[in-house]
Amino acid sequence: MAEDQAKEARKRRHKRAMQRKKEHVDDQIAAATIDKGLCVVLTGNGKGKSSSAFGMLARSVGHGMRCGVVQFIKGQWQTGEMLLFQDNPLVEFHTMNTGFTWETQDRDHDIAAAVATWEKATPLLANPEVDLVILDEITYMLTYGYLDKASVLAAIEARPPGQHVVITGRNAARELVEMADTVSEIEESKHAFHQGVRVQKGIDY
């Protein structure tokens, strides 16, 4: 009997707590009334930066939005996202096709490749018809000084007001983080690679 009463009391407490939580969340939702093109930065050492960016690409394409993707590291594998989206009429897809990988170790070559790839990004960032631009792994181009940080920041800042931009890569520059509306620093708790597991299709590429 006492057990039943305790159960009932617990249910009532839970209901009250959920009511309070709902009121709080409803207030917050009612207060958020702004629509704008967002700058989203996905950084940190954990896995999930590029795959999150491509998740937003999938969402956007699903809504019929026009999108641009610029990848700043030479593809070693044919990625699933490229195979899925490269021929989609809503998506303009550019991948750095020469230059920067960890292997080249040729600075001039890498700089030329970074600049050529950035030249694919600038028209997208200037086009108000483009709803979403993904700058995948661009943070490294700034860390290594391959691209001029001030020009990159200026182009992102001057983009059309309704355009979303998603930036990925480790060690995002402080200025990028300051400029962004949403920043996620993905922490590594574990990674299968450290147990000797090689890249897996569908999960890693």
Alpha carbon distance 140, 186 (integer Å):
16
Beta-carbon contacts of 21 under 8 Å, excluding residues fewer than 6 positions away, are none
Site string for ligand ATP, 138-177 (x = CB under 6 A): ------------------------------x-x-------
Piece of 4-12, 44-52, 62-70, 108-116 that binds Mg ion (CB under 5 A): 44-52
Positive or negative torsion for Cα 136, 142, 147, 152: positive
| 139 lies in the site for Mg ion, by CB under 5 A | no
Binds ligand ATP (CB under 6 A): choice among 37, 38, 47, 80: 47
Binds Mg ion (CB under 5 A): choice among 40, 41, 42, 50: 50
| 48 lies in the site for ligand ATP, by CB under 6 A | yes
Closer to ligand ATP by CB, 50 or 117: give it: 50
Q: How many CB atoms lie within 10 A of CB 167?
A: 28
Closer to ligand ATP by CB, 151 or 200: give it: 200
Alpha carbon distance 139, 149 (integer Å):
10
| 60 lies in the site for Mg ion, by CB under 5 A | no
Which spans of this chain sit near Mg ion (rule: CB under 5 A)? 49-50
Q: Which parts of this chain interact with ligand ATP (CB under 6 A)?
A: 45-51, 137, 168, 170, 188, 191, 193, 199, 204-205
